[in-house]
Amino acid sequence: MNFNYDEFYNHVPVNQHDLSQHMQARHASIANLCRGRVLDLGCGTGNLADYYFGPYTGYDISKIAIEKAKQVRRKDAEFAQVDILKHAKNLAQRYDTIVMAEVLEHFDNDSNLFSNITSWAKSNTRLIFTCPLGDRVPDPSHVREITYPMLRKKLKSWGHVKFYNWSGDKFQILCTCDMGQKNQNSLGLVMIVKDEELGLEHAIKSALEISDHITIAIDNATKDKTAEIAKLYADEIKYFDWQDDFSQARNFAHKDLKTKWLLFLDGHEYIFKKDNLEKMLKSAADGLLCSIELENGFVFQNPRLYKNGFQFEGKVHEKQNLKNTLYFPDFIIKHNRLGAQSKDAIIARNAQRDDMVPRLMQKELEQNPKNIRALFHLGLYWQSKGQFKKAIKTYNKYLRYSKNKQERWFIRFHKALCLMSQNKNFRAFWAINLADDEMPKRWETQKLKGLIFTYKKQFAKALPFFVDSFSNNTEETLYRPWAKSDAGTWNLIGECLFQLKNYEKASIAFDRACETAKNEKQKDFFKKRGDLMKQILVGQTAK
């Protein structure tokens, strides 16, 4: 150890490690994880004693640091000059928590340190570590770089390892190891990625606290810094050559994993909600249906959480060969391609989709014209490309063979949208009425009926359907084509009332739209519409 810590602490303020909000947040995050009697190894000037108020002892190699700590920290905190790399004596008093904050990166050999922990710890002691993530906190006293997989590998034989998200996790790792507890080995994160530099880190972090293992399979054609980011987080990195088959890539990625459950995420996705996960992982189901929210508000269910041992099938729009699934409403994944992929990556992915979906789905239909999965995805593809006649023809074939009411409702809904896009509003209304037969009283059905009458300029007929669309769906829905927006519905009601020259009620509707809007831009727009109605009313009164 060549760095002179006495000289360092002799020339810096006593609160050198507490000067920024980032440092304060680190101490607060550590303090929240502490329990019982705490031993702070490499404590510096003892900043943690100002955040954790239980029994506290700080060790540091610097005599100057310890002297300053004794002067400024609370009187019941204990401090001692100790070289934590030298052989330690067994203590009569063992510690419930041992903290090593920004310590490991200062030693190229920490075997003595970990040997000493057995002299200071109980059988169930919690170890808390913070370390700079890779090279993101440059410092002349650092002699090595620490990554998540390095820490997990070092600690997993000691007990249960858990990593944490906190405000500074872009730069520093925060983890605990509860000694004597078995690693749960219950959930592994699995990703296949290509050119995901922009979104990959956010995706991984969203699953960091729940993952017992992280495997990332990287397409060899990747050109950006995807691999560099993956090395900071992944316990296992695999490389593969793309073979025109998503199932093959996913099966390669999760091969030989040992966790009981697997979670797959793409590099431009992130977990938005993950409540009640521990309870759901005790389920006997093969897969858990999670909600996937796309940028346009479309939500669908997919078994992103599935038990180890099941394989993916299908070269595109792949799915696992699960026998039974369970709906998991508290697990939401958000798709974020526009914010988490480069322009070039988006273009390449869209080109891949435009090639694979029609080519492979049509090939499947040649082999089996009644393949409802191929008809389902091919119809949606044609609709997304604006080829509404092809979409409707494909939807009609799907409806001929499918018996799944959830999917049939969804396809009839989209068939109605295709017909509207062709200005065939009567047929669109007939199609959406048939959707109502599949799943009655869905709010999306009512709103679409209102839109059809609005496009036909039959505003009085549209109004009751918009009002009915304020209701909530009462049963589980596997597909939600629109995000619910009460503000948007009030705006449509206001527009209908304006067209009917009922300016007073239109003003009230636009005011309600303003009250329920979720952002300031919307609020301002709706407020202006409401104010305009009031101006019209004042003008009528003046006449």
Alpha-carbon torsion (312, 313, 318, 319), positive or negative: negative
Q: Which residues pair with 409 in a beta bridge?
A: none
- Burial of 33-51, coded b for 16+ CB within 10 Å and e otherwise, reads bbeebbbbbbbbbbbbbbb
CATH superfamily label, 1-182: Vaccinia Virus protein VP39 (3.40.50.150)
The pLDDT value given to residue 18: 74
Helices (H), 386-442: 388-401, 405-421, 425-438
The pLDDT value given to residue 542: 66
Global pTM exceeds 0.85: yes
Domains in the chain: boundaries? 1-182, 184-335, 383-536
Could you list the pLDDT tens digit for every one of the 543 residues in the chain? 578 888 888 888 777 777 778 889 999 999 999 999 999 999 999 999 999 999 999 999 999 999 999 999 999 999 999 999 987 777 778 999 999 999 999 998 999 999 999 899 999 999 999 999 999 999 888 999 999 999 999 999 999 999 999 999 999 999 999 999 998 889 999 999 999 999 999 999 999 999 999 999 999 999 999 999 999 999 999 999 999 999 999 999 999 999 999 999 999 999 999 999 999 999 999 999 999 999 989 999 999 999 999 999 999 999 999 999 999 999 999 998 888 888 999 999 999 999 999 999 999 999 999 999 999 999 999 999 999 999 999 999 999 999 999 999 999 999 999 999 999 999 999 999 999 999 998 999 999 999 999 999 999 999 999 999 999 998 888 999 999 999 999 999 999 999 999 999 999 999 999 999 999 999 999 999 999 999 999 887 765
End-to-end CA separation in angstroms for the chain: 90
- Report yes or no: 491 and 513 within 8 Å, Cβ to Cβ: yes
**pLDDT tens column, 314-352:** 999 999 999 999 999 999 999 988 888 889 999 999 999
The pLDDT value given to residue 340: 83
Cβ neighbours around 219 below 10 Å, total: 17
The pLDDT value given to residue 1: 52
CATH superfamily label, 184-335: Spore Coat Polysaccharide Biosynthesis Protein SpsA; Chain A (3.90.550.10)
CA distances for 62 relative to 49, 67, 169, 371, angstroms = 17, 9, 28, 72
What is the CATH class of 383-536?
Answer: mainly alpha
CA 157 from chain centre, in angstroms, equals 29
CA atoms within 13 A on the CB side of 343: 0
The pLDDT value given to residue 230: 98
Euclidean distance between CA atoms 331 and 289, whole angstroms:
8
